[in-house]
A and B are shown apart, each in its own frame.
Chain A
Amino acid sequence: MSSTYEQIANIIAETCDIPRDTITPESHAIDDLGIDSLDFLDIAFAIDKAFGIKMPLEKWTQEVNDGKATTEQYFVLKNLADRIDELVAAKSAGTGA
């Protein structure tokens, strides 16, 4: 698995006090790990800081609410890692995050 996944899994384990070995790339942050919106704020802060990005949580939430995306696209950890990699790449390319 990518180092991005490893980093976010570690952040989640530490922030939410979830045993690291129960977190897998297929884990859904909300459905499987039971992370609530408040804990996710904390996680988002830690991820933003660690990767130097601003995760567009409001945009993602809106897309899910509008039926344009599924929660799996953003909250299954291997997918979240991909989204973060995209944001980091976009930032490096100067196209904004």
Chain B
Amino acid sequence: MDLDYFKLIDRIVDLNLGERTIVVEAQVPEKHTIFEGHFPGFPIMPGVLLTEAMAQSSGWLLLGVLKFTRMPFLAIVKEAKMRGFVSPGQLLTIEAKVEHEGSGFAVTKAKGRVGKELKCSAEITFGLSPFPDPAFRVHMDAMAKKIGFPLQAVTHD
């Protein structure tokens, strides 16, 4: 996780476009100023960041489904549940699945775990828009390579 740049996903473990699922990993840093305030003596990942991590996981899945032709933008978060504390240094594994592909929008369900323990879950809706700027698309390509996005999966089927 690069909390300063809001890049919460470290690597894609599995992307299954047929099943419309993704599994990603996100390593919570041992130290960050966020943990100094949230909370002193009891550092835990803020729920909004866990929600964002689930949204980014879903976003990578949708980018794959859409073959990078459109960008998913977060629109609605429902049933966001923080089921347990996530601490500095823990490895968060997030899985997401496309629940519905609508016209101009998509809905996913995502779950975050540490080990086998379920820590968070949500249903997330995205608006799907053309990339507003070519540089943004180039940036997403670079990010995809960095986190091990299997680009061959979206270029050869």
Contacts and interface: CB of A to CB of B under 8 A. Distances in A.
A41 B101 contact: no
Nearest to A61: B104
Majority-rule SS of B interface residues: strand
Interface in B58-75: 75
A54 B101 CA distance: 8
Contacts of B127: 41
Given A41-B125, A42-B125, A44-B105, A49 B75 contact: no
A32 to B, nearest CB: 23
B33 interface: no
Contacts of A61: 104
Contacts of B103: 44, 54-59
Contacts of B100: 45, 48-49
A1 interface: no
A54 B104 CA distance: 10
Contacts, number: 35
Interface residues of A, number: 14
B107 interface: yes
Nearest to B126: A41
A46 to B, nearest CB: 10
A93 interface: no
Contact of A58 (B76, B104, B107, B125): B104
A45 B104 contact: no
Nearest to A37: B127
30 contacts: A38-B75, A38-B76, A41-B76, A41-B105, A41-B125, A41-B127, A42-B76, A44-B102, A44-B103, A44-B105, A45-B100, A45-B102, A45-B105, A45-B107, A45-B125, A48-B100, A48-B102, A49-B100, A54-B102, A54-B103, A55-B103, A56-B103, A57-B102, A57-B103, A57-B104, A57-B105, A58-B103, A58-B104, A59-B103, A61-B104
Interface of A: 38, 41-42, 44-45, 48-49, 54-59, 61
